[in-house]
Structure 1
């Protein structure tokens, strides 16, 4: 056993926490008093539960179609739900499920929202905002910024009242939220909210997760996805007696491993009583940001293969199609309908491919991931136990993991980690492979443009993500390190005060910020205002998806120029960022 890992985890052990079981029972008591609304979708179609609908699709060899949707205002969102139903009526496509993506502000108790940066998407304030969002017979699911957030009790109660068949997302429990630092209360309310969902077992309400938003989003090895799913399932299902499902896919593009991971999780965890896989998300990691109609090509082939996998392995895995504009802006409702129609038409031809496919190599990979995933999980439990963590207490486990730097999760618990702290995965994730490939590509380009190797030697740089996205952060870290910089990676969901605190603690002037959820302009203004109060000189650079919904608009606008005007180096070109770091003192 890796003693360094054990010692690291031992240092994270929380103290003064209540019993996880007692907190769960408090949540169950709350849940038993909640009356759930029966959805318009179930009423119209005569299903007892949403699970009955999914299982009927499995029996008939059909696909359950989903989209994520989060528009600028609540009224626009409700109108778009009506439009989705009209789209179904017009086309015959069964887009019967929408996951609601409300503003990230929903994760915060109301008293913390005023000072937080303003992302895109709407805010819900009253119970009626959840319950009355059903403007058409389409099943609505409340997941992002609900169950695992500091505001978990309010959002979970309202999601259950609205009849959401899944409530999530477990994997977001370690995300930081602007200005909120009471992590003890956060974890207590999170586990209490799991108890609320636990009380609805007979109604077939599940806790939902999404691997790519959690620790696997930092992973270099596909095995980590499977091992981590086993860990979440153990905590939620075995310890909390709560139904558990997970989605995945946004950071997975290579079709064989992308498909094998959910199949492995399904075969390890699904039972007649409870399926393990909720949905496969469309990937965005290879989308073009130019000539975006070309993204229909990459999405189409991906969706076709996902359809074939679902028909073969019968997981009940919904397909959540991602708009071709995802990399550059929050999608419009029409963009979401368009990509769903591409998927549905691709599915029409799936049956003609089935007898031409030899699945043997896929099955071999599934078996490998199952074996290695179990070993990962067993090693995780052994490390936690050896470190003195009570592995029978869900609250203590979550609090320990909450305190962990997400960049260290895989190397702490992976059973194949070398003594020198390196990992050579047999099946690397796209993040693992692309981080290396893109680093080499960018470094070669930077050198070709006249920047010397080790140009940043002696420079110390802090890099953070202002939201939950990891990919851009990993690339920036890798490139700056390759150019000689001493990089301190502060992780995801870092708000402006925390970014400056990190820089001050490490004696750093250079701060890089990756932003993808529409809050770039607000973030820039806040960090500059805070920096001025500290009377210190910082060199700040930003990249990612730099757009925002400006006053009077309902769709995002690029704000790169506005951020540059504030005095921050805002650019997607790492060459420009490297030159700024090299040429300033």
Structure 2
């Protein structure tokens, strides 16, 4: 491994344990609030409620919502609460899908591009999150992990939110953030110290694994080992409680159950998991087909929860997720399906072959432990202080998931071009889907009469943190015998334009997902014009945008075309779009 301490620990570092102590001091200066939900159920925290429900065998459910702003999101939650009450059941918790700008310190938010989801702009809005509805709030995005980790954690704890994350987002880039990774990681470590100061009162650090490095690993053994690494940092080094969530990127129900069981073996008995997330990778434009995916997914998640008694919550994903931001009515729809699925668990649970699933889960845990040992020992050999949480987070962030898996994974090093230098022991569904989709694209993306124009020099990047689409675009371009310049995920328009200038790019290809397609494109064109360059611009992905006066994001394909941008709705079209 070529990396050295000088590579991944360059810069002026603060002492990690001192940052933890600072965070604990800050936490001791605030009072943790109690939400309306907890008051109604007679508990002091969501953790106390979860432990109580786990003991009673209740299958809990959760929802994700994020409309244009907090007032609209609040109205949606009120509608959901009223309709589900009328139907005879209640939802235990909600997650707000916030605009990524919430991860920025307040002074930088106005200058960053708006994405899908609300902002919390005042103390009263923060307070309303926990006190305006009898569903427990969970802050799972743009909190711990972001440049604004400390301030957001303080506000959430004070309001009455107990599960706060998302630690897995520690490696994300945030639009318009001028600071470096050391500043961001220092904020993360201090926020974790704050959570440690309130651990005895029920504060729990949340990490949705599919938002972090595990989503980019190709091996479930690495996935489990990473979960153990996060526990080591949060629990052993900092003294906070940690709850994992998982599931959105795994669609095979048996595999999902096995991985869930493996993750739960790492969980201490005094903590309950956050949630099991419904699969999002098998949804398509076909709504009827999506209902079939939903039914199987919810059933298996509930069976796993019944078996494990982990105090988790089941998160059914609305069937329109692949098309646009779901409406409150669509959330109510899938929650009703989940509620009725619960009624069938008693008859299905006894006939499930849990012994076979347990055996496969234990094998996965064994190999996950090997990954963890390899990782900790390897970082130590490279010169990192494995007792310093700042050094560890900074080291793994700079090494990145691919390098980590190639260096410390338990699979097999390989020169097989099918894999990126590492053949996994237990391939993830994401990797298997990627390889399958890549094979299909390679068959159809290159026309029979394709003649390579050797002057092609495209730059490829993602406007947000979603990487899979970008990876497929890269592969499609390479199948045309074109070597692209690779930008980063979450790249800002000015950075992308500067990269195009420096590389003398002939085209800029953008994968986008987070409801910012039009504003990102407009800003990119302006930045290209400033530099007096005019490469072809091609954009694909989820091409929607929040438009003033509209309740939901709308498709902006025609507006993009009007700007002179080529829209790629299917990678099969790519060869025709790239000009010869």
Shorter-chain TM band: over 0.9
User: How far off its partner does 1:313 sit?
Assistant: 2.0
User: How far off its partner does 1:507 sit?
Assistant: 4.2
Equivalent residue for 1:160, pick from 152, 157, 162 = 157
Q: Which moved more, 1:258-267 or 1:481-490?
A: 481-490
Q: Secondary structure of the residue that 1:468 maps to in structure 2?
A: coil
Q: Is the aligned partner of 1:272 residue 2:269?
A: yes
Equivalent residue for 1:367, pick from 362, 365, 374 = 362
Counterpart in the other structure of 2:50: 54
- The residue correspondences of 1:253-264 to structure 2 (distance < 5 A) are 253-264=251-262
Counterpart in the other structure of 1:464: 461
Q: Which moved more, 1:53-62 or 1:91-100?
A: 53-62
Aligned residues of 2:84 and 2:332 also touching (Cα < 8 A) = no
Q: Which moved more, 1:411-420 or 1:88-97?
A: 411-420
Q: What is the rounded CA distance, in whole Å, between the counterparts of 2:222 and 2:452 in structure 1?
A: 35
Counterpart in the other structure of 1:123: 119
Aligned residues of 2:414 and 2:422 also touching (Cα < 8 A) = no
Label 1:30 to 1:71 Cα distance change in 2 as closer, same or farther (>3 A).
Answer: same
Counterpart in the other structure of 2:338: 343
Aligned residues of 2:206 and 2:244 also touching (Cα < 8 A) = yes
Q: Residues 362-399 of structure 1, C-alpha deviation per residue, up to 9 Å, x if partnerless?
A: 22321121011111111111221111111111111122
Q: Is the aligned partner of 1:441 residue 2:440?
A: yes
Equivalent residue for 1:352, pick from 341, 347, 354 = 347
Q: What is the rounded CA distance, in whole Å, between the counterparts of 1:359 and 1:118 in structure 2?
A: 46
Q: Which moved more, 1:91-100 or 1:354-363?
A: 354-363
Q: What is the rounded CA distance, in whole Å, between the counterparts of 2:515 and 2:121 in structure 1?
A: 21
Q: Is the aligned partner of 1:182 residue 2:194?
A: no
User: How far off its partner does 1:178 sit?
Assistant: 1.5
Aligned residues of 1:194 and 1:240 also touching (Cα < 8 A) = yes
Counterpart in the other structure of 2:376: 381
- The residue correspondences of 1:54-453 to structure 2 (distance < 5 A) are 54-133=50-129, 134-183=131-180, 184-267=182-265, 269-275=266-272, 277-289=273-285, 291-418=286-413, 420=415, 422-447=421-446, 450=448, 452=450
User: How far off its partner does 1:303 sit?
Assistant: 0.3
Counterpart in the other structure of 1:24: 20
User: How far off its partner does 1:240 sit?
Assistant: 0.8
Give the structure-2-normalised TM-score: 0.95
User: How far off its partner does 1:419 sit?
Assistant: 5.5
Q: How many residues align?
A: 574
User: How far off its partner does 1:450 sit?
Assistant: 4.1
Q: What is the rounded CA distance, in whole Å, between the counterparts of 2:107 and 2:440 in structure 1?
A: 45
Q: Is the aligned partner of 1:562 residue 2:577?
A: no
Label 1:415 to 1:506 Cα distance change in 2 as closer, same or farther (>3 A).
Answer: farther
Aligned residues of 2:84 and 2:336 also touching (Cα < 8 A) = no
* RMSD (Å), alpha carbons: 1.9
Q: Secondary structure of the residue that 1:364 maps to in structure 2?
A: helix
Aligned residues of 2:537 and 2:566 also touching (Cα < 8 A) = yes
Label 1:402 to 1:498 Cα distance change in 2 as closer, same or farther (>3 A).
Answer: farther
Aligned residues of 1:457 and 1:483 also touching (Cα < 8 A) = no
Q: Secondary structure of the residue that 1:278 maps to in structure 2?
A: coil
Q: What is the rounded CA distance, in whole Å, between the counterparts of 1:496 and 1:8 in structure 2?
A: 32
Q: Secondary structure of the residue that 2:8 maps to in structure 1?
A: coil
Q: Secondary structure of the residue that 1:322 maps to in structure 2?
A: coil
Q: What is the rounded CA distance, in whole Å, between the counterparts of 2:460 and 2:199 in structure 1?
A: 42
Q: Which moved more, 1:486-495 or 1:184-193?
A: 486-495
Q: Secondary structure of the residue that 2:423 maps to in structure 1?
A: coil
Aligned residues of 1:548 and 1:557 also touching (Cα < 8 A) = yes
User: How far off its partner does 1:88 sit?
Assistant: 3.1
Q: What is the rounded CA distance, in whole Å, between the counterparts of 1:386 and 1:537 in structure 2?
A: 48
Aligned residues of 1:324 and 1:335 also touching (Cα < 8 A) = yes
Q: Which moved more, 1:247-256 or 1:405-414?
A: 405-414
Q: Secondary structure of the residue that 2:461 maps to in structure 1?
A: strand
Q: Secondary structure of the residue that 1:552 maps to in structure 2?
A: coil
Aligned residues of 1:263 and 1:315 also touching (Cα < 8 A) = no
Aligned residues of 1:13 and 1:388 also touching (Cα < 8 A) = no
Aligned residues of 1:108 and 1:177 also touching (Cα < 8 A) = yes
Aligned residues of 1:217 and 1:470 also touching (Cα < 8 A) = no
User: How far off its partner does 1:164 sit?
Assistant: 1.0
Q: Secondary structure of the residue that 2:275 maps to in structure 1?
A: strand
Aligned residues of 2:62 and 2:91 also touching (Cα < 8 A) = yes
Q: What is the rounded CA distance, in whole Å, between the counterparts of 1:429 and 1:483 in structure 2?
A: 27
Q: What is the rounded CA distance, in whole Å, between the counterparts of 1:338 and 1:94 in structure 2?
A: 13
Q: Secondary structure of the residue that 2:368 maps to in structure 1?
A: helix
Aligned residues of 1:10 and 1:387 also touching (Cα < 8 A) = no
Aligned residues of 2:4 and 2:383 also touching (Cα < 8 A) = no
Aligned residues of 1:463 and 1:513 also touching (Cα < 8 A) = yes
Q: Residues 140-195 of structure 1, C-alpha deviation per residue, up to 9 Å, x if partnerless?
A: 11120111111222211111111112110001111111221312221111111111
Q: What is the rounded CA distance, in whole Å, between the counterparts of 2:237 and 2:218 in structure 1?
A: 28
Label 1:412 to 1:508 Cα distance change in 2 as closer, same or farther (>3 A).
Answer: farther
Aligned residues of 1:209 and 1:246 also touching (Cα < 8 A) = yes
Q: Residues 239-291 of structure 1, C-alpha deviation per residue, up to 9 Å, x if partnerless?
A: 11111111111111111221212211211x2222234x3211111111011x3
Give the structure-1-normalised TM-score: 0.94
Q: Secondary structure of the residue that 1:513 maps to in structure 2?
A: strand
Counterpart in the other structure of 2:476: 479
Q: What is the rounded CA distance, in whole Å, between the counterparts of 2:565 and 2:407 in structure 1?
A: 36
- Structure 2 gaps of 5+ residues are none
User: How far off its partner does 1:128 sit?
Assistant: 2.0
